[in-house]
Structure 1
Amino acid sequence: METSISPPGTSKQSAVRKPSPGSSLKDLCLVSKQGSIAEVESALALLKKSGGNIDGRNAFGLSALHLATWRNHLPIVRRLLDAGADPDARDGESGWSSLHRALHFGHLCIAGVLLQFGASLALEDTKGRTPVDLISCPVSQANGDFPDAVATEVFSWGSGTNYQLGTGNAHIQKLPCKVEALHGSYIKTVAASKFHSVAVSSNGELYTWGFGRGGRLGHPDIHSGQTTAVITPRQVTVGLGRKRVNAVAAAKHHTVIATELGELFTWGSNREGQLGYPSVDTQPTPRRVGSLKQRIISVAAANKHSAAVADTGEVFTWGCNKEGQLGYGTSNSASNCIPRMVEYLKGKVLRGVSAAKYHTIVLGADGEVFTWGHRLVTPRRVVVARCLKKGGNTNLKFHRMERLQVISVAAGTTHNTALTADGALFYWVSSDPDLKCQQIFSMCGRNIVNISAGKYWTAVATSTGDVFMWDAKKRKDETPIFTRVHGVKRATFVCVGETHMLVLSSIYHPEYPPKPKSQGLKSMLEWNGGTEELGEDILFDDVQPNSGLSGSSGEMSKGVPSLKSLCEKVAVEYLLEPKNSIQLLEIADSLEAKELKKHCEYPAGFSYSQPRLHFHSGSFFNYECFF
């Protein structure tokens, strides 16, 4: 039994004391928090004998059911409910019911039991939030006023020196924290830089926050000196009217956006001509780049230069060209304030662009990657090729697809990354004149769906909603080693600034297309044939095969899933193993969870006519481990 600090007066009393309603309630709260089911039974008997109230509160305003729900102990929760505990009883601090608490912590099985006992989904806490508002697990897709609007949460961490975190914290935040001001805004994309952050909602609203002197935030009162920072997200209204923002890029001193109609707007510092228009040193509010008539679909911004891709496939650059980062075929120290097409790539159909301090990268519609800068004044193709290694007498082929199709690129000051259609990750050193591109083998099997690169950090989001990060400052010349960022779930988009990170999480985690069969078990077996040169441990650490649930025809695959069906789905995907299938079978039977029951019977290898295990004192499964 784990050791914990108990509230004053909650310690076990002497056996010789006379029972009283107050002391017996304290005993029930204590064992609900850290005891066994047998101890709960004893405490309930004592409470009944003394005439106490099962819904009574301890010194912190919490009932026994609140504590058992927080603990994620299913048998104790069910026993308390059977004994008459009120599932809608609210705590004394925030007004949370047990269902509020279960959904906030992601205890879906507990939430299912509470709903069976009549817990209300409409009950509001002191801030007017229902239990569904506090969901921290994939439960439902919440649509806004626009077809692509999905309920999202924005998390930030890192340095808050310039209030770029959006949480009001001006210090270093070591763990991801939710940006509460954006709750309910249906954010679809975010951008981060050294001094500020930007977010765009599904209906095209633009929000900025951070240090605003110099005009980078787009709020006129910041530029006028009334204040120097916006500590929480604030909508940009001046200069845009009713225009809907479609793409955004944030740099150290300026911001670039493209509207839904393809219009280009910039604001902030223009000392190097990075705003795209002359005769202005600083622009405090969004201003259209009138010289660019093409419809813009993608934008990028770096310290002193900017870039944009038109729907015709052409790429335009402007700003500082000291390192050849504009791709004009020459380098000079003069400002180039008027957007100009990169002639070398004329005839290529480009679809994406990314920029860092001294260079620019573009992605073609055919998956080709080109880069320039770091004294390379004309675009040069980056070869993202199959990696053929030789181990003994066996050729080891890492990719079974006919061709590597790059679908995303990210430019970083130190390193650049490229993501292929099959979820493989590649990188090369930004200043390497040979542009030697290598695969990051440690991320094989992760099925990456989004990438971002900053000054030193590189971050990726996987199809399972996990975020991994690599800090190149600590390992500048070593093989990239990614570590998982704890505290983030259901991530769909990541953005790395210079000293902080932003992550976009969806309440409903989207189903990504399954990986090709050629990359399944067969390709894994091929890896084992000759990997002495690469090291066997680095290739498949923590790699888990994809679940086959996405193709099932049951309740879980039809429309917006119910809470019960998602409880079953999460349990099957993350919990079910042959060694615990009998325990899960017992739970599935008690909850009438048909889908979970069906999947439990297969690994168990028996029918329901056989004897089943039952819960006993102190025997329970900790569901919190997989959330």
Structure 2
Amino acid sequence: MQEVEATTASPPPPRRVLLISAGGSHSVALISGNVVCSWGRGEDGQLGHGDTDDRLLPTQLSALDAQQIVSVVCGADHTLAYSESKVEVYSWGWGDFGRLGHGNSSDLFIPQPIRALQGLRIKQIACGDSHCLAVTMEGEVQSWGRNQNGQLGLGTTEDSLVPQKIQTFQGVPIKMVAAGAEHSVAITENGELYGWGWGRYGNLGLGDRNDRCIPEKVSVDCDKMVLVACGWRHTISVSSSGELYTYGWSKYGQLGHGDCKDHLVPHKLQAFSDKLICQVSGGWRHTMALTTGGQLYGWGWNKFGQVGVGDNVDRCSPVQVKFPHDQKVAQISCGWRHTIAVTEKDNVYSWGRGTNGQLGIGDTIDWNYPKIIEALSVDGSCGQHIESSNTDQLSGKTLASLAERYAVVPDEAAPVANSGSLDRLDLSVPESDVKRIRV
């Protein structure tokens, strides 16, 4: 009798994290197979799981399982995703000022498509604190959300509850946009740099501290710009020759020039004179830059360890972030107080503020050096097991408004009366910019 050779099923290929994005206190990832995961702070619905619960571990956003998502991006307290095949942009989370683009200020706890963008083929999306920008394949820019300082580029200071085209860029194809707390930046296909919105720290790069309601061209001493990113109130750009430029607010050294001086125009970072930069990201008050060789550098505010160099000391010059086995980094994203990186070995690491689980490692502890997110990493010991949110796909389910629940900016303590110390709060934050918390 012929022996039948026993066969065993081969294990499925490991999931790869294709994209990561970090927000105010939450994070999202796009995994191979068009799977979207989110974790961290959920009180405004920014995780998309149909509730206001925090998640300490990456959780599959099942409402988007059938939508074939190809990109995801976090705002401070809201999230956007794009489906190339369905030609739809989805948004969810905190809805104040119209930042979700649905024509109202309602919160959404399940992703919903933005009707005004339906059918527009999107090249890139950027989210700031309370506004959003989207670049179409044709190079046009749509903007919506809060606009008190002109950050929408529409020539007014009125909020827009739905996306509107920025007319200044008519006939000027845009390659890439970035959004800070209240300012916006764009790079044209020809490498020209534009800035608009809130400019009090010189973060528009226009040589003064004035706001702009329409995009204005920035003068730079290089051939062309190819990359741009925004921190809360600073800006980072990279030239075609790999040189890094920063400008704007530098109270915590987030510009990286060795001091804490603001710069009103793009200023080349001399610390990288012998390196080529291929990726940049800005946090609330810190900055990350990735070299073509896969080395990651961080600087700026480091109170929660978000720079990732093993301590909590602010840095005004770049310091290299070390990873186990000297892994090279492939992708980086700064949240307001935390940072996430993907290495070339398909491992995902996070560090910084962890109070809402935004690090994705199962606890609420701050870490000042890279900590592996095992559920998303090839080298994770838990076999890449990811929980599902089990919400109905795009059911439209929403929760009661949290409009009456207000408090100070999360993670910051309110100043004590007559204490003589106001270091915990930035006094330049408008009084109306309070955030809701669960009570």
Question: Given the two structures, how large is their TM-score scaled by the length of structure 2?
Answer: 0.68
Whole-angstrom distance in 2 between the partners of 1:485 and 1:156: 12
| 1:219 is aligned to 2:102 | yes
Whole-angstrom distance in 2 between the partners of 1:443 and 1:364: 30
Other-structure match for 1:284: 161
Matches within 5 A, 1:491-510: none
Other-structure match for 1:482: 370
Give the match's secondary structure for 1:351: strand
RMSD, aligned α-carbons: 3.0
Whole-angstrom distance in 1 between the partners of 2:186 and 2:378: 30
Matches within 5 A, 1:91-130: 111-112=9-10
Contact 1:150 1:186 in 2 (8 A): no
Contact 1:464 1:490 in 2 (8 A): yes
Give the match's secondary structure for 2:375: coil
Q: Residues 434 and 192 from structure 1, CA distance in 2 versus in 1: closer, same or farther, beyond 3 angstroms?
A: closer
Task: Point out which structure has higher relative CO (alpha carbons under 8 A, 6+ apart).
Answer: 2
Q: After superposition, what is the alpha-carbon deviation per residue over 1:241-289, rounded to whole angstroms, capped at 9, x for unaligned?
A: 5211111111121111100110011001111100001235111111000
Other-structure match for 1:457: 338
| 1:160 is aligned to 2:37 | no
Contact 1:189 1:199 in 2 (8 A): yes
Higher fraction of strand: 2
Q: After superposition, what is the alpha-carbon deviation per residue over 1:85-128, rounded to whole angstroms, capped at 9, x for unaligned?
A: xxxxxxxxxxxxxxxxxxxxxxxx96449xxxxxxxxxxxxxxx
Whole-angstrom distance in 1 between the partners of 2:345 and 2:34: 16
Give the match's secondary structure for 2:96: coil
Whole-angstrom distance in 1 between the partners of 2:203 and 2:193: 13
Other-structure match for 2:238: 363
User: Which structure has the greater CA radius of gyration?
Assistant: 1
CA-CA distance at 1:479 after TM superposition:
10
Contact 1:459 1:467 in 2 (8 A): yes
Q: Which amino acid aligns with 2:216?
A: R
Q: Residues 445 and 322 from structure 1, CA distance in 2 versus in 1: closer, same or farther, beyond 3 angstroms?
A: same
Other-structure match for 2:88: 205
Higher fraction of helix: 1
| 1:337 is aligned to 2:225 | no
Contact 2:187 2:228 in 1 (8 A): yes
Aligned pair count reads 327
Pick aligned residue for 1:407 from 256, 278, 281 = 278
CA-CA distance at 1:463 after TM superposition:
2.0
Q: Which amino acid aligns with 2:341?
A: V
Whole-angstrom distance in 2 between the partners of 1:444 and 1:370: 30
Give the match's secondary structure for 1:321: coil
Q: Which amino acid aligns with 1:351?
A: V
Whole-angstrom distance in 2 between the partners of 1:317 and 1:260: 21
Q: After superposition, what is the alpha-carbon deviation per residue over 1:126-173, rounded to whole angstroms, capped at 9, x for unaligned?
A: xxxxxxxxx78359x9xxxxxxx9732111100100000011231211
Whole-angstrom distance in 1 between the partners of 2:271 and 2:353: 21
Whole-angstrom distance in 1 between the partners of 2:372 and 2:271: 25
Other-structure match for 1:18: none
Q: After superposition, what is the alpha-carbon deviation per residue over 1:410-467, rounded to whole angstroms, capped at 9, x for unaligned?
A: 1112321111112111112169999511212346621211100121101101123221
Other-structure match for 2:288: 417
Q: Which amino acid aligns with 2:371?
A: T
Whole-angstrom distance in 1 between the partners of 2:350 and 2:200: 31
| 1:194 is aligned to 2:51 | no
Other-structure match for 2:182: 304
Q: After superposition, what is the alpha-carbon deviation per residue over 1:344-383, rounded to whole angstroms, capped at 9, x for unaligned?
A: x154311111001110000111111100011321211123
Q: Residues 311 and 160 from structure 1, CA distance in 2 versus in 1: closer, same or farther, beyond 3 angstroms?
A: same
| 1:447 is aligned to 2:335 | no
Q: Residues 490 and 276 from structure 1, CA distance in 2 versus in 1: closer, same or farther, beyond 3 angstroms?
A: farther
Whole-angstrom distance in 2 between the partners of 1:262 and 1:190: 19
Q: Residues 282 and 479 from structure 1, CA distance in 2 versus in 1: closer, same or farther, beyond 3 angstroms?
A: closer
Pick aligned residue for 1:258 from 135, 142, 145 = 135
Other-structure match for 1:389: none
Matches within 5 A, 1:12-411: 111-112=9-10, 137-138=14-15, 151-203=33-85, 204-220=87-103, 222-223=104-105, 228-238=106-116, 240-293=117-170, 294-332=172-210, 335-343=211-219, 345=220, 347-374=222-249, 375-385=262-272, 404-411=275-282
Q: Which amino acid aligns with 2:234?
A: H
Structure 1: 4+ residue segments shifted above 4 A: 430-435
Give the % identical residues. 28
Whole-angstrom distance in 2 between the partners of 1:254 and 1:179: 23
Q: Residues 172 and 383 from structure 1, CA distance in 2 versus in 1: closer, same or farther, beyond 3 angstroms?
A: same
